[in-house]
Amino acid sequence: MFLINCPYCGERDQSEFSAGGEAHIIRPKQPTELSDDQWAEYLFMRKNIKGVQFERWNHAHGCRKWFNMVRDTSNDKIHAVYKMGEKPPIK
Amino acid sequence: MSKNLRTSNNKFIDQTSRISFKFDGKTLYGFKGDTLASALLANNIHLVGRSFKYHRPRGIMACGSEEPNAIVQVGNDASLTEPNTRVTEIELYEGLEASSQNCWPSVNFDVGAINNFFSPLIPAAFYYKTFMWPANFWKMYEYFIRKSAGLGKSPTKPDKDIYDHRYLHCDVLVIGGGISGIIAAKTAAKNNLNTLLIDDKNNLGGTTLFQQNECFKINNSYSNEWLKKEIETLKSLKNLTIKTRTSLAAYHSYNYLLARENLTEHLDINEKKNKIRQRLWKIRAKKVIIATGAMERPLIFNNNDRPGIMLSSSIKKYIDFYGVKCGQKISLFTNNDSAYETAISLNNSGVSVNSIVDIRDKTNSLIVKQSEKLGIKVHWKSSVVNTNGYKKINSIEIMQLSDDGNAVVGKKIKEECDCLGISGGWTPRVHLFTQSGGKLKFRDEDNVFLPNKSELDQISIGSCNGDFELDEIIKNAADSINKFLKVNNNDYENLEIISSKEIDKKNIWLLPSDKPFGKTKSFLDFQNDSTANDVKLALREGFKSIEHVKRYTTTGMATDQGKLSNMHALGIIAETAGVKMGELGTTTFRPPYTPLTFGAIVGRNVGEFFDITRKTPLHDWHVENKAEFENVGQWKRAWYYPIENENMHEAVQRESKAARDSAGILDASTLGKIDIQGSDASEFLNRVYTNAWSKLEIGKCRYGLMLNEDGMVYDDGVTTRLSENHYLMTTTTGGAANVLSKLEDYLQTEWPELDVYLTSVTDHYGTVSICGPNSKKILSKIIPDLDLSDEEFPHMSFKNALIDNINCRVMRISFTGEHSYEINIQSSFAKSVWEKCFEAGKEFNITPYGTETMHLLRAEKGFIIAGQDTDGTMTPVDLQMDWIISKKKYDFIGKRSLYRSDTIREDRKQLVGLLTDDPKEILEEGAQIVAETNKQPIEMLGHVTSSYFSPNLNKSIALAVVKNGKKLKGQKLFVPMKNKTINVTITDTVFLDKENKRLNA
């Protein structure tokens, strides 16, 4: 059970949050101009990394804000949390 | 009670307070402070159960949570009885009733024991191998296997006990109240750290508490006396909470731990009532110190499972702590020094020790010398090759070990005994460390897995970290605690410690016998009855991974999770396969460390607290009017309102007819309502719905369909434009929370530039829906000022109105196809509005209808219910709702997916209507639809999604999804049921009033 540092509320128990999959996948601005393959790339393709992964999280039972998290999936260490629209603080 | 089995002066047992209890129906006595195990042993009862497979007699082996054999059924109350409890962990209380498990008719005479004679025919994986053929016989086999398998009986009635959950935060959590845990807790608390110390026993001190031996002294006192003073100081410290009878169950990441505290387990049966039985602590600790100690290993030799064969350290605890002699003539069998401590304790309490059988050549440590001084005989370089005695051990057979330890040589000596203590060395309890994600390393010198790397803020100290000797424990624990807590506590420097040092180490995982290996029975897992032979057989059959061998032989898979058996199984596998143990690795230790009751897991979340119940503001009226309710998500919704003895069908038929013939009234309060405001609200709706919203006039309503990005229908509902930048969106009852989340997600992450604000107002408004040809007349009686003409207040529009001076919003929208209004009013006034409508409608026989009638009425009109007629694989095109997809809009959620190669396939499943050839035949929802009846296997074309008998059409109607359904209109298909095949014809989805005349009736 993680202890997550919500960028708006501070440290809270994981049970207050919901995970929202891979971060930094930008919805195409002109979907109609994409081929089936390109659209499928956006729609379905997600990484499943053993190691450092960039994820979306939502403080669903709190401030309801979405934010990003850098987490190592091999040991669940959270390296950083940052607001939507901000650049990842680490690569 | 066999008096001669209890020593006279004992510090830990209150021999003045006698406790009576029952075991297998017989009344026995023990003392306050006893466990059920010590009390049984004091009554000379070793045999307490039968083994799982061979039904061999089994006795108490250990004194703690690692006990594999002595598990019993406690109590016989149908709601409180508990199976598989370890007698070593049950504190004795007045009124305790326990009975043996896995035996019939009794533990002394067990019919199943016949399996023991057939045991050569029951090898590892016997069940897997035998009951495979013929395949369709499995059902019969299963019945008999299930009947004979299983340990204990589950309670048959709901648990009457109360359980509790609580949170706890601390700076330092110390797990284990033995000597190293006490040092840790004291150091932490003295340095102003908020400290929690927990131990699963009812006292602190671990095994040092009763270690009174010349070979273990601190500053000239016995180690136990020194520790007693430490405990006294500890208890006086501030910043420290001590929880005994509390067992750490699970250690999760981020130092989140679960601990189960027993609150009433030790109380007399009459004192238990109305008190919280167990509390589950949810602990978040900044730092964790694991001081869980070590457990003694058994030795693996022929017939090592007889009652009376016990762990040597447990015999020591029974004599030194409980004052119970496990036998009168005790032999010991060891590969290390700790059995000598037991021998000395027994000797000091006047129990004669026959001899110690030691596999080592000869050793000269302090403790060995002391035992020799007492005249205790030692068989060096020897092994026990066999034991005798069926229900209790009566003798052992001893032989010399060969130089390589692989065989026994020389003359066999028979030694009579009534108890055999065995010690195969020590296994650090690293379970919690590995649960927390820590990685282990292997120490070859004494064959132990030790904590190595951890990502968490934690350390392991004491014997769970591989320090087994008193001076090492104190010194290393004190050092690493100082470092870990960044403090400088010098209480434990300059102590003068005497500690016997083990000099020689020797280990043989599987001890040889004079009998050929195949004829021996050397048990590894006592509870699951798996032997060394089973493990070797698995290896011969090609299993290599430890995880596979474990599952194939079931070694380590019993309720004790192989606490005693794992190391030997690993050792034998490594040895047989010729690999190093460190490379072989170990199986995964999973939480809980010891079994948890379901009660402790669910806590207070039982009965009506199991889940939240949401009730509409009109709920009381429904109850008063005898509605039947159905659960829709967390909501309680009025299902139908039976009159007199009506069944559901009759009530629904009556309600449906009334709603179309005159007037019906429905509680629609559960519909999700989202208030949308902001200068970009219209643009936002354009992006989330498939149809266009920019041109919707103020005061008008529009139906919208929401897709997922994959093009599949997600939710639907009517949204009303209240003012220029203000909309009220409705969603399905079940979809409300998800829709809000989805909209928030897009607003925050994809379109942060939009000026839009969302607020859930589902609970703020009650919604009264009235429909039917007389609904207009009824509404005009309530709001006489409102112009209800079709010109002024047409279908799909909204008006603000006042009812009794209360503002409300009236929408003229319809989910039934009838002329219909929905009144939204602040929840607290909803009931009075409902009652007003009802009163005003009486002259028109206004009929309250529930969700079932609502579903029927909308099905007559072919209106979908998202989630019933759709299942996440239906596009709007599949639903034949092409009309709702805007061709002009550049983009909306899911648009691009509507022309992916898969979504434009013509043979997708599509929504159609179904009529049965026999109009009285009602299809079953979920029934499969096929094109042929005399072919097997037959392709399933689709299934029925909604089905009702329509009283207004006087025939059965259904909606279904059918492959290529759009093109199959008029086609005859079949719905095969269990006893018959129903003929159906594909039709249009709209069954009633195709021209929508009734909307303006």
| Tens of pLDDT, residues B781-814 | 999 999 999 999 999 999 999 999 999 999 999 9
* Mean pLDDT of the region B79-94: 93
Q: How many angstroms separate the most distant Cα atoms in chain A?
A: 43
Residues on chain A touching B900 (C-beta within 8 angstroms): 36, 39-40
**Cβ-count burial of B218 within 10 angstroms (0-12 exposed, 13-18 middle, 19+ buried)?**
buried
Identify the closest residue of chain B to A32 by CA–CA distance.
B896
Q: Among B483-487, B522-526, B704-708, whose mean pLDDT is lowest?
A: B522-526
Closest by CA to B850, choosing from B631, B704, B564, is: B631
pLDDT digits (tens, 9 = 90+) for B633-657: 999 999 999 999 999 999 999 999 9
Flag whether A32 is in a domain: yes
Q: Report the helix count and the strand count for chain B, using DSSP H and E.
A: 23, 50
Supply the CATH number for residue A71's domain. 3.30.2270.10
In angstroms, what CA-CA distances link B823 with B113, B546, B622, B670?
74, 67, 18, 13
Q: What is the DSSP string of B784-822?
A: TTS---TTTS-SSEEEEEEETTEEEEEEE--SSSSSEEE
Minimal CA separation from A2 to chain B, in Å: 6
Q: How confident is the model at residue B305 (pLDDT cuts 50, 70, 90)?
A: very high
B258 to chain A, minimum CA–CA distance in Å? 11
Residues B652, B655, B656: CA angle, nearest 5 degrees: 85
Confidence band of B103 (pLDDT split at 50, 70, 90) = low
What is the C-alpha to C-alpha distance for residues B658 and B841, in angstroms, rounded to an integer?
Answer: 12
Q: Which of B253, B749, B895 sits opposite A31 (nearest CB)?
A: B895
Lowest mean pLDDT among B44-58, B320-334, B697-711: B44-58
Of B215-229, B566-580, B638-652, the range with the lowest mean pLDDT is: B566-580
- Which residue of chain B comes nearest to A84, CA vs CA? B749
> How much is the pLDDT for B584?
85
SS3 B48: strand
A89 found inside a domain? no
Residue B142 is predicted with a pLDDT of: 62
Spell out the domains of chain B, with CATH numbers in brackets. 3-117 (3.10.20.440), 162-294+428-499 (3.50.50.60), 297-425+503-584 (3.50.50.60), 671-766+778-837 (3.30.1360.120), 906-1000 (2.40.30.110)
The distance of A10 to chain B (nearest Cα, Å) reads 15
CA distance A3 to chain B (A): 6
- Residue B622 has a pLDDT of 98
CA dihedral sign of residues B37, B39, B42, B43:
negative
Per-residue model confidence (pLDDT) at position B129: 64
Chain A and chain B share a number of CB contacts under 8 A equal to 57
Q: How many CA atoms lie within 13 A of B118 on its CB side?
A: 11
Dump pLDDT digits (tens) for B119-170: 666 666 666 666 666 666 666 666 665 555 556 888 999 999 999 999 999 9
Res B140: pLDDT: 64
B294-296 vs B309-311, strand pairing mode: unpaired
B277 to chain A nearest CA, in Å? 26
pLDDT mean over B693-710: 96
> Which chain A residues have any C-beta within 8 angstroms of a chain B C-beta?
1-3, 13-14, 20, 26-28, 30-32, 34, 36, 39-40, 43, 56, 58, 60, 64-66, 75-77, 84-85
- In degrees, rounded to 5, the angle at the alpha carbon of residue B99 between the alpha carbons of residues B95 and B101 is 155
Q: Do B749 and A66 touch (CB under 8 A)?
A: yes
Which secondary-structure segment (H or E) carries B372? helix B366-373
By C-alpha distance, the chain A residue nearest B899 is A36
Q: Enumerate the residues of chain A whose CB falls inside 8 A of the CB of residue B743.
A: none
Interface of B with A in 254-313 (CB under 8 A): 254, 256, 284
Nearest to A76 among B253, B709, B896 (CB): B253
B745 to chain A: closest CA residue:
A66
Q: Given an 8 Å threshold on Cβ–Cβ distance, is B437 in contact with A20? A: no
Strand, helix or coil for residue B88: helix
Q: Do B745 and A66 touch (CB under 8 A)?
A: yes
Domain-embedded: residue A88: no
The answer on pLDDT for B3 being more than 60 is: no
A91 inside domain: no
With 0-12 / 13-18 / 19 or more C-beta atoms within 10 angstroms meaning exposed / middle / buried, residue B868 is middle
Give contacts of B254 with chain A, Cβ < 8 Å.
Answer: 1-3, 14, 76
> In the beta sheet, which residues pair with residue B635?
B614, B632
CB of B168 less than 8 A from some CB of A: no
Determine the distance in angstroms separating the CA of B702 from the nearest CA of chain A, rounded to an integer. Answer: 26
Q: Is residue A51 part of a domain?
A: yes
Which residues on B lie below 8 Å from A75 (Cβ)? 253, 437, 455
pLDDT at A56 over 60: yes
The Cα of B254 is separated from the nearest Cα of chain A by a number of Å equal to 6
- pLDDT for residue B623 is more than 90: yes
pLDDT for res B627 = 98
Whether residue A32 and residue B896 make contact (CB cut-off 8 A), yes or no, is: yes
Question: Given an 8 Å threshold on Cβ–Cβ distance, is B891 in contact with A64?
Answer: no
Give me the residue from B253, B254, B896 closest to A31, CB to CB. B896
Domain annotation covers residue A27: yes
Which residues neighbour B956 within 8 Å (Cβ) at sequence distance 6 or greater?
B915, B916, B918, B919, B920, B921, B922, B923, B947, B948, B949, B950
Give how far B459 is from chain A: nearest CA, Å: 17
Here the tokens at position B294 are 């070590």
- Please list, residue by residue across B505-535, b when 16 or more beta carbons sit within 10 angstroms of its beta carbon and e when fewer do: eebbbbbbbbeeeeebbbbbbbbbbbbbbbb
**Count of alpha carbons within 13 angstroms of residue B570, beta-carbon side:** 23
Contacts of B437 in chain A (CB under 8 A): 75-76
Angle formed by the axes of helices B338-348 and B312-320, to 10°? 30
> What is the distance between the alpha carbons of residues B313 and B331, in angstroms, rounded to a whole number?
13
> Which residue in chain A is spatially nearest to B708 when comparing CA positions?
A43
H/E run at residue A42: helix A36-44
pLDDT of residue B50: 83
CA of B714 to nearest chain A CA: how many angstroms apart?
A: 16
Portion 748-767 of B in contact with A at CB < 8 A: 748-750, 752
Q: Is A30 helix (H, G, I), strand (E, B) or coil?
A: coil
Cβ–Cβ below 8 Å for B741 and A13 = no
Q: Which residue has the tokens 């999959």?
A: A21
User: Inter-chain contact B891–A39, Cβ cutoff 8 Å?
Assistant: no
CA angle B610, B615, B617 (to 5 degrees): 160
Q: How far apart, in whole angstroms, are the C-alpha atoms of residue B248 and residue B199? A: 8
Out of A1, A36, A39, the one facing B253 most closely (by C-beta) is: A1
Residue numbers in A near B888 (CB within 8 A): none
Report CB contact under 8 Å: A85, B752. Answer: yes
pLDDT, residue B153, reads 85
Which pLDDT score, from 0 to 100, does residue B267 have?
95
- Give the pLDDT score at B132: 62
Residues in B closer than 8 angstroms to A36, CB to CB, are: 900-901
pLDDT band at B1001 (very low <50, low <70, confident <90, very high): confident
Q: Which one of A4, A14, A22, A27 makes the best mutation probe of the B interface by having the most chain B beta carbons within 10 Å?
A: A27
What mean pLDDT, rounded, does chain B reach?
93
Q: What is the Cα B1 distance to its own chain's centre?
A: 41
Nearest chain A alpha carbon to B251: A1
ipTM here? 0.98
Residue of B nearest to A60 (CA): B741
Section B720-746 average pLDDT: 97
| A20: closest chain B residue by CA | B745
Tell me which residue of B23, B757, B271 sits closest to A64, measured CA to CA. Answer: B757
Nearest to B891 among A13, A31, A84 (CB): A31
pLDDT(B4) > 80? no
Residue B204 has pLDDT above 60, yes or no: yes
Average pLDDT value for residue range B548-569: 87
Q: What range does the domain containing A69 cover? A: 3-83
Quote the Cα angle for B837-B843-B847, to 5°: 60
Output the six-digit token pair for B510.
């599987």
Task: Specify if A90 maps to a domain.
Answer: no
Q: List the single residue in A with minimal CA-CA distance to B439.
A: A75
Domains in chain A, number: 1
Please list the helix, strand and coil fractions of chain B in percent, rounded to the nearest 5, in that order: 25, 30, 45
Q: Measure the CA–CA gap between B693 and B563, rounded to whole angstroms.
A: 66
* In-domain check, residue A30: yes
pLDDT at B604: 95
pLDDT for the residue numbered B586: 82
